[in-house]
Amino acid sequence: MDYHDRHVVVTGGTGALGAAVVAALLEAGAHCHLPYRGAEAGRFAQRGHERVRLVPVERLDDEAALAGLYDAVPRLWASIHVAGGFAFAAVEDTTRALLLAQIEANLLTCYLSCRAAVAALRKAGGGGRIVNVAARHALEWRMGAKMSAYTASKAGVAALTEALAEELAGEGILVNAVAPSIMDTPANRAAMPKADHAAWPKVEEVARTILFLASPDNKVTRGAVVPVYGRV
C-alpha cells in the first residue's frame, strides 16, 4: 500500500491503536496530521518525525478547532477516527452524565470528524477514504451487558458508517469501519491479567486492516464494519 505524498488525519493517534496506525502510515510514506491534548504529544514516540504534524485540539467536539485542523491539511486523502472512550457500568450505575459522556467520546467526536473530513475531501477533489473505529459490541449487542452506554455509542458509530458510505459513494469517498474486540494493549493486560492475551488481536494487526480500508488499493469496499476479533 503506497501512501507517498498522501495526507492523512488520525484522531486518537497518540493512543495504543492510533500510534500503531500512524507507524504503519509513516512506513507506507504518508504525511500524518494528529490532534492531541495536554501532555499526549510528549509521550508520542513519533513526535519528531518529519512527516508528523501534531496539532493541539483540546476537544474533538469543538467544530471550530476541527475545522482549523482539517483546513491546514494541504490535500486530504484519508481521515481515520480512532479517538474514543470506554465505560464499564451496569444500567443502575449509568447516570445521564455517563451516558452523554460516552456518546460524546465515541459517537459525537466521530460524527464531527467525519463532517470536517468530508468538507476537506471535497475541497481536495479526487475522492478519498474515511475509516471509523467501532467495536465488537457495535455488532454483537448482547455482549454489551453492564456496558450499555458504551455499546449504544459504538453502535451509533457503526450506523453512521453505513449511512455515510451510501451518502458519499457517488463522490468516490469510501467510508468503512473496523470493529475490534479486546485488543492487546498494556492497559487491557493490566485490567485483565488472567486473560489469554495471545488470543487478543494485536494493535499492529488491526492497524493493517485500517490501512487497507484507507488506502488507494481499496477501490470497492464501502459501508463495511469489519470484525477484527483475533481468536476471542
Among 136, 132, 117, smallest CA distance to 210 is for 132
Range 86-92 contact pairs with CB under 8 angstroms and sequence separation of 24 or more: 86/147, 86/150, 87/147, 87/149, 87/150, 88/146, 88/147, 88/150, 89/146, 89/147, 89/149, 90/146, 91/146, 91/148
The grid coordinates of residue 155 equal: 453502535
In contact, 150 and 87? CB cutoff 8 Å: yes
Phi and psi angles of residue 152, each rounded to the nearest 5 degrees, phi first: -65, -40
By annotation, the residues acting in catalysis are: 150
The widest CA-to-CA distance across the chain, in whole angstroms, is 50
Among 69, 78, 85, 75, smallest CA distance to 21 is for 78
